[in-house]
Amino acid sequence: MKKTHVSRRPVPAASRRAGAMAASIAVSLAAAAAQAQQTAPVSPVVVTGTRTESRAFDLPMSIDSIPKEAIQDGKAKINISEDLNRVPGTYVQNRENFAQELQITIRGFGARSQFGTRGVKLLADGIPATTPDGQGSPGIFDLGTADRIEVLRGPFSALYGNHSGGVVQVFTENGPARPTLGANLQFGSYDSQRYGLTFGGTGGLWNYIVNGSYLTTEGYRDHSAATKSQFNTKVTYALNERNTLTLVGTGFDQPNAQDPLGLTAAQVQQNPRQAQPVAVQFDARRTLNNYQGGFVFDSRVTDRDSLRAMAYIGTRSNEQYLAIPLAAQTAATSSGGVSTFDRGFGGGSLRWTRQQQLLGGPLTFTVGADYETSSEDRQGFINNFGKRGALKRDEKNIVDNWGAYGQAEWQFLPRWNASLGLRYTKVSFKSEDRYITTGNPDDSGSVSYDEWTPVVGVLFEATPTFNLYANYGRSFETPTVAELAYRPDGSSGLNFSMQPSVSDQFEIGAKTFVGEGTRVNLALFNINTDAEIVIARNTGGRSSFQNAAGSRRRGVELLVESEFGSGFVTHIAATYLDAKFDSDFRSCAPLAAFCNPVTGVNTAVVPAGNRIPGVPPYYLFGDLQWKHAPWGLTAAIEGIASGKVAVNDFNSEYASAYAIANVWAGLQQRVRGWQFKEFVRINNIFDREYIGAVIVGDANGRYFAPAPTRNFLVGVSASYTF
């Protein structure tokens, strides 16, 4: 593996070359489309972009759908990182560490997140998997029964509220027409095993599916063992011809997932599988569970009007042991080394949609409102080398998020379509401090943020198989409870001086079909952000945040799907992203033993032009599949490549660029009511050593989370239809 190295600034001409390349591609696509068939082939139908069923091809926005077979065939079905690399503009850092959850980044938003996903709205069957403050938990997604995953990027995601990057929504499949019972088993490297059981069917007015799984693994690195139990259920009842009620429930329990922590560059060179010694000394680990359920009521009120109501409720508990020296934990304003919370959350939404004609063109408009709330009891204790000690923190935090929106799609001329929308969002935080001692004053307080976020897009149908579009929108992203939790100057209490970031996003693109078997999407975007939220200091599992002056993100995304005939299919997702700070700001100097961004002690200037850390300048996924139906055989090779990634705002070190390849093959048989499937997968077949994720801004220089070298997975499943 290449050593990390000191920052080298990319040449300014790179952006111009990317723009010229994109323009060249667009011209080529237009020429190819002009010679293509005159009726557009089938395009994926999506709902996330407009909240109504629409062909992705006809929408002036970047939205893609990952189908069921791409999610479930030949995959471990454990993390959504297995799937999102198929979507351009989307980058997932998998630390191979169940104590941290996945970090999903869209167009460079979300890279600063230390736990889970930030800056991206997560939904499961229309119910939020993101808390009201904007912190997402992709761990609740059950991929064993996923029918599709929709990913919306860019301005129109602003109609979903408090985030900047986009929306990821997972849809559970319906139960089969007849009762079917299925079981599956997977085993692989690092003593990994996963067992699953699924039952679904249709009976009268009922349709149902239930799935449960259990996972255990020792992990690639030392001190990274984990177990996880998960379930997901969806039940739909047809009340009558016009009304349906869908009940959904999901949950997981993940006890004592070990945390090996990040490594320094020298430690990676020495042994990438080792755990950070203090992780073992303090038994760094996390116990996490999440249970939630809700209903969705759909009513076709008239032939033109429809109504949807949704409500949900849930609980989430967390206990995390951090590796912090005892001397630091015992300070008067310290919160200790064990962080716990018990959270209750819930919410609901109501929306009305009408379809009619306006000036001779079809018009669909939607108005709606939603409300989300959470209330948590958060405490901190001394971590006495893996044992819970004295109380050091005790507070109650309440977050309320409500919004109202309207959006419309109108064909105002025969070949022109417009989409526009407006949303108002308000997010309120309130903290009640219940731990008040000498040297630790009452830190209770409250703060609210609100913003109007408009979006507008226009699509031109150049030919039946070639569309051009442009859009603009403003997005709004508040700090989360975790980002407010600690003040950069080290004093106690929540950091209520934080401000939300606001982004102006511009996008142009083209969508085309070439011949009968090829679909191509191209998008160019520019995003300017004010008050970018960045890490001020990150040490011992605790991060404090501050606002930088601003940033910009410019990029190109390309998606190509093609069927060659003779059973060959290819899929390519390519992203170029130039994500930089556009003005100077001060932050804690790398590896400073102590710093105070408020007074400037031990800080340094982050110069304009530095890359936003955690964001690669390019990312590429491609696969080639061959299917032979008479044998029930599928074989595929996948390639993944990523550019080097800065690990802090100063760009003083990088995780090196890498390229890896995976292969897998599967068989399928049907015998009367039985269906059998088998597959084998080998990841990283050339046994490359590389960094799979970085811990942005770590004060101890422990930036790097090594990814597994060559590893294997074998899976078998059987189902019987009654």
What residues contact 481, with CB distance under 8 A and at least 6 apart?
131, 133, 135, 376, 397, 399, 429
CA distance 7 to 209: 51
Q: Residue 6 domain-assigned?
A: no
CATH number at residue 72: 2.40.170.20
Let me know if residue 701 belongs to a domain.
Answer: yes
Reply yes or no on whether the pLDDT at 7 is more than 70: no
Token pair, residue 592, equals: 């400073």
Q: Note whether residue 8 is domain-resident.
A: no
pLDDT at 9: 38
Residue 582 lies in a domain: yes
Buried residues in 280-300 as b, exposed as e (16+ CB within 10 A): bebbbbbbbbbbbebbbebbe
Q: Is residue 2 part of a domain?
A: no
Judge contact between 88 and 498, C-beta under 8 A: no
- Residue 458 structure tokens: 């226009």
Spatial contact of 343 and 316, defined as CB atoms under 8 Å apart: yes
Domain boundaries, position 482: 13-721
Predicted confidence (pLDDT) per residue in 634-683, tens digit: 999 999 999 999 999 999 999 999 999 999 999 999 999 999 999 999 99
For residue 494, pLDDT over 60 is answered with yes
Q: Per the domain annotation, does 640 fall within a domain? A: yes
Q: What's the pLDDT score for residue 103?
A: 86
Q: What is the 3-state secondary structure (H, E, C) of 12-76?
A: CHHHHHHHHHHHHHHHHHHHHHHCCCCCCCCCCEECCCCCCCEEHHHCCCEEEEEEHHHHHCCCC
Per-chain mean pLDDT for the chain: 91
- The answer to whether the beta carbons of residues 274 and 263 sit under 8 Å apart is yes
Q: Name the residue with tokens 């048989």.
A: 669
For the segment 676-687, what is each residue's pLDDT rounded down to a tens digit? 999 999 999 999
pLDDT tens digits, one per residue of 24-35 = 544 444 444 444
- Percent of the chain at pLDDT > 70 equals 93
Tell me, yes or no, whether 412 lies in a domain. Answer: yes
Q: How many structural domains are present in the chain?
A: 1
Q: Is residue 3 part of a domain?
A: no
Q: What is the dihedral of CA 37, 39, 40, 41, to 10 degrees?
A: -90
Task: Give tens-digit pLDDT for 554-586.
Answer: 999 999 999 988 999 999 999 999 999 999 998
pTM recorded for the entire structure: 0.92
